[in-house]
Amino acid sequence: MPVPDKLVIHGGRRLTGDVRIGGGKNTSLPVLSAALLCDEPVRIENLPDINDIRVLIEILRGLGVRITRDGDDAVVDPTRLTGTSPRPDLCQKFRASYYLLGALLGKVGEGTVSYPGGCDFGARPIDQHVKGFRGLSAEVEEHADFVTARAKALQGAEIYFDLVTVGGTINVMLAACRASGNTILHNAAKEPHIVDTANFLNSMGAHIRGAGTNMIRIRGVERLHGCTYSVIPDQIQTGTMMIAAAATQGDVCIHGCIPAHMESLSAKLLEIGVRVDDQDDVIRVRSLGGHRAVNVKTQVYPGFPTDLQQPMSSLLTTAAGTSIVTETIFDQRFKHLEQMIRMGVRANVQGRVATIEGVPGLIGAPVVASDLRAGAALVIAGLMAQGNTEIENVDMIDRGYERIDDRLRALGADIRRT
């Protein structure tokens, strides 16, 4: 049995210098799934080299999709699909495998996909995805371990989501772009990944309007043609690097990002006392310490992203005063704080609210990454702490961050993978 990787961080160093951000995880996953819908090969550029993408590529290959990877780019040829049931063990490894249901339904009118895995934040139902598919006239059967969706002919429809869901909005959009007639998605999510997936589908000849607003209009088309498409940079990796720079009282320029996607975070960092400047696709984050406590409440886009709540709470652990962090999207997204108590953090979690009392400094300790962003939060805490922090379960971090140790080392961090 191979020994799992650990990250060992000797904290207390300022991060300085330049870092470049790769393609977005939560964009690449739907874009790669959406490529299934095409009737010709497509070229997708700027795909991150992360575990979730590797697993999705393996699943697609198992369905007969030919994929040639060349660095950050891939040519995806979905013209000889041989299956409609992706491997359950692989689907259970990550959340975004649910996109295969919408894509298969749109492409061949049927799919059987096991319930997705991914980070454990309490219950993560997919009832709104199912509601949307049923709205498009698909028959959906929900079994204990998997879901089957079938449609002789998908019909466009008006669909009202009962809550704002990123995955549900994209999944129904995937199926609807090959349905006959018009679909309107009401109460749609507005995250940048939704706009990017819609842009990709439109580059293949789909007719989607309004992505990025809460009403998306889709006119179904019969065919989708090949294209070349470059995935947008990762909003959450950008934010993680911004927070890491601030937390280490560093001075870091983050290149190749989209500053407009970072406004809620930049505003919070300014409130804390961190300097943030941007120009074109570069954000510079500078801090001299003296951070102030702030309150953070996660919201759907353009609000403060839940995926940055965990890294942000690391920064708040040493900010002067009491910070209240309220998680409105998921039930249990504070597991990182339990780990950080070992590092001297003073935090109290009551349901979806965490109260963090700033302490003068953190102390390195052995900790475990319970989920992807908890892992990122622990890395940041390790960079802030005096002494050694050993992080176990690094696979979780590798699901969504490409070579996080190399990138941080290039900025001056003392971090190694053992």
Residues in contact with ligand EPU by CB under 6 A are 25-26, 29, 95-96, 119, 124-129, 163, 165-168, 189, 306-307, 329-330, 372-373, 400
Q: How far is it, in rounded angstroms, from Cα 407 to Cα 398?
A: 13
Nearest to 26 by CA among 220, 260, 189, 202: 189
Interior CA angle at 26 toward 65 and 74, to 5°? Answer: 35
CB of 159 to ligand EPU, least distance (A): 12
Q: How far is it, in rounded angstroms, from Cα 191 to Cα 335?
A: 25
- DSSP-derived letter for residue 41 is -
Q: Are 27 and 56 in contact (CB under 8 A)?
A: no
CB of 25 to ligand EPU, least distance (A): 6
Tokens found for residue 305: 């992203």
Residue nearest to ligand EPU (CB): 167
The set of residues, in sequence order, having a beta carbon less than 8 Å from that of 167 and lying 6+ positions away, is 95, 96, 98, 99, 126, 129
Nearer to ligand EPU by Cβ, of 165 and 248: the residue is: 165
CB of 104 to ligand EPU, least distance (A): 17
- What residues act catalytically? 119
CB of 321 to ligand EPU, least distance (A): 27
Nearer to ligand EPU by Cβ, of 1 and 123: the residue is: 123
CB of 28 to ligand EPU, least distance (A): 10
Burial of 65 (0-12, 13-18, 19+ CB in 10 A): buried
Q: Are 23 and 72 in contact (CB under 8 A)?
A: yes
Place of tokens 């709540």: 309
Each residue of 349-386: b (16+ CB within 10 Å) or e?
beebebebbbbeebebbebbbbbbbbbbbbbbbbbbbe
CB of 371 to ligand EPU, least distance (A): 7
Nearer to ligand EPU by Cβ, of 26 and 323: the residue is: 26
Beta-strand pair 296-297/322-326: parallel
Place of tokens 């041989």: 82
DSSP H helices in 92-229:
99-108, 127-135, 166-176, 192-203
Report in angstroms the alpha-carbon separations of 174 from 30, 200, 241, 392, 409.
9, 11, 31, 37, 39
Q: How far is it, in rounded angstroms, from Cα 61 to Cα 65?
A: 5
CB of 363 to ligand EPU, least distance (A): 27
Nearest to 106 by CA among 197, 209, 214, 192: 197
Residues in the chain: 418
Q: How far is it, in rounded angstroms, from Cα 326 to Cα 134?
A: 34
CB of 192 to ligand EPU, least distance (A): 10
